[in-house]
Structure 1
Amino acid sequence: MSDYHIRLYKDSDYELVRNLFECGILEHTRVAFYHSLTVPHIWLFMLVVFLFPLLTTGSIPLSILAGTLAIVGLWLGTTDIYHTYVQHSLSDDMQDIHKYYLQRDGYCYWVAESAGEVVGMVAAVPTSHSSGERHIELKRMSVAKSHRGKGIAKVLCRTVIDFAREKGCSAVILETSFAQIDAQRLYEKMGFRYIRTCYAPKFTAKLIDFRLVFYQYDIPTGR
């Protein structure tokens, strides 16, 4: 028997949901940063930054300082992408979750509760495909680190799929970042298919190879 249950969001959940969302997003910063260090043009840039002071001044300490500052700049550029996304979300749909998700037709927001504590969440947003088909977008899914590996994310994902089916939609779509490897594995195991990859809409995204990954779950007809 599971030690959690899924229910609709309540206003009293706000602070817990907000913190869960913010921590769940920012934890991927390190993965994205380490990935940026493997990008060829970043390596070339680092090499130039290190060698230029060495060749022009002959100072090894100055070269090390320049290289260190370049790495710090890369880290700040990576964290800025995540922090900007979090701040935008908290001032947009997550500023008033009840009004945005629970007072509008086709929208919904659920939380996973365990021992009176919110340990997971997910949202559903209606959207239309260019072909005219109605889809549901899965958003804001996150599970507390202390409760991962218990199947909560799978149940939250299934909750959105069932919601989309009840609404007569043909598919569930979502976007995630390339750094969220575990999430991608979950979606693929649940039957989501990869659609495309693109760079995040921020100047530094292409520079550090920060990509968004899109998935779609096609709801079988006749069910």
Structure 2
Amino acid sequence: MPRFIIRPYQDSDYDVARNLFACGIEEHSGEAFRHALRLPHIWLPLSFLFLFPALHLVSVTTSILAMTLAVAGLWFGARNLHTSYVRFSLSDDLMDIRKYYMERDGYSFWVAESGGELVGTVAALPSSQPGGEKHLEVKRLSVSRNHRGEGIGKALCRTVIDFAQKRGCEAVVLTTTEPQINACKMYEKMGFRHMQTFIPPAFKYKLLDFKVLAYQYDLPNHR
């Protein structure tokens, strides 16, 4: 028997649900930063800064300071990608979860509870992409770090799939980011197909090679 239950969102879940989402997103800042450091257009200029003293262009102290500032700027840039998304989400659909998800047709929000503690969240809404009226989108899927590996993420995702099936949808779709490797593996094991990888058009995303992955799960009666 699972040690958790999945249930509809209640108003008393508000603060914990928002915090779970925020923590789940922000923890990927480190991997995004490490990925950026491996990019040629990032490490080549940093290497050049390292060579400045040997080329007698600047002092060792100046070179170290320049490299430190560049790496710090890269770290804050990677972190800002995630914190800005969290701020937007908390002021958008997660500002009033009940009104946005629980009082609209085709929308819903669930939480996972274990031992009286809220340990996971997931939401569903009609996709904003073409064909959205027939596709349901997974949003705000997050599981507490201390409860990962217990099947909670899979159960939350399955809850959305069942919800979509009952509504006669053709598919369940979602987007995630490249640093979320474990989530991608889970989706693929569940039968989600990787449909597309893209980088948002803003310069900061291109600079950090911030990839977004789109997945789709075709419901059995529409395969």
Q: TM-score w.r.t. structure 2 length?
A: 0.95
Tell me what 2:119 maps to. 119
8 Å contact from structure 1 (residues 54, 62) kept in 2 = no
Question: Given that residues 52 and 58 in structure 2 are in contact (C-alpha distance below 8 angstroms), is that contact kept between their aligned partners in structure 1?
Answer: no
Change (3 A) 1:148 1:216: same
Q: CA deviation at 1:47?
A: 2.1
Alignment of 1:75-94 (within 5 A): 75-94=75-94
User: Is the CA contact (8 Å cut-off) linking 1:81 and 1:202 kept in structure 2?
Assistant: no
Residue in structure 2 matched with residue 70 of structure 1 by the alignment: 70
- Inter-partner Cα distance in structure 1 for 2:65 and 2:112: 47
Unaligned runs of 5+ in 2: none
Partner of 2:98: 98
Please, which moves more after superposition, 32-41 or 49-58? 49-58
Listed one character per residue, the Cα deviations across residues 65-116 of structure 1 (whole Å, up to 9, x for unaligned) are 1111100000011001000000000000000000000000000000001121
Query: Which residue in the other structure is 1:30 paired with?
Result: 30
Distance in 2 of aligned mates of 1:98 and 1:179:
30
Distance 1:129 1:76, change over 3 A: closer
CA contact (8 A) 2:126 2:133 kept: no
- Match of 1:155? 155
Distance, in Å, in 1 between the alignment partners of 2:157 and 2:142 is 10
* Amino acid in structure 1 at the alignment position of 2:74: L
TM superposition shift of 1:3: 1.6
Per-residue Cα deviation, 1:16-57 (whole angstroms, up to 9, x for no partner): 001100100001110111011101111112123334466454
In structure 1, runs of 5+ residues without a counterpart are none
Contact 1:133 1:170 in 2 (8 A): no
Match of 1:211 in 2: 211
CA distance in 2, matches of 1:49, 1:57: 10
SS at match of 2:93: coil
Partner AA of 1:200 in structure 2: P
What's the counterpart of residue 173 of structure 1? 173
Q: What is the identity, as a one-letter code, of the residue corresponding to 2:15?
A: E
Aligned-partner residue type, residue 80 of structure 2: D
Deviations 1:156-185 (A, max 9, x none): 010000111111100000000100000000
Q: Which amino acid letter does the alignment assign opposite residue 156 of structure 2?
A: L
Structure 2 Cα separation of the partners of residues 66 and 87 of structure 1: 30
Change (3 A) 1:18 1:132: closer
**Amino acid across the alignment from 1:22:** A
Paired position in structure 1 for 2:144:
144
Amino acid in the other structure paired with 2:148: R
Tell me how far apart the structure 1 counterparts of residues 35 and 48 of structure 2 sit (CA, whole Å): 19
Change (3 A) 1:129 1:32: closer
- In 1: Cα distance, 2:63 partner to 2:192 partner: 48
Question: Could you give the per-residue CA deviations for residues 111-168 of structure 1, whole angstroms, max 9, x where no partner exists?
Answer: 0011211100100011265357610000000100111111111110100001111111
RMSD over aligned Cα, in angstroms?
Answer: 1.7
Check the 8 A contact 2:126/2:132 in 1, yes or no.
no
Where 2:220 maps in the other structure, the secondary structure is coil
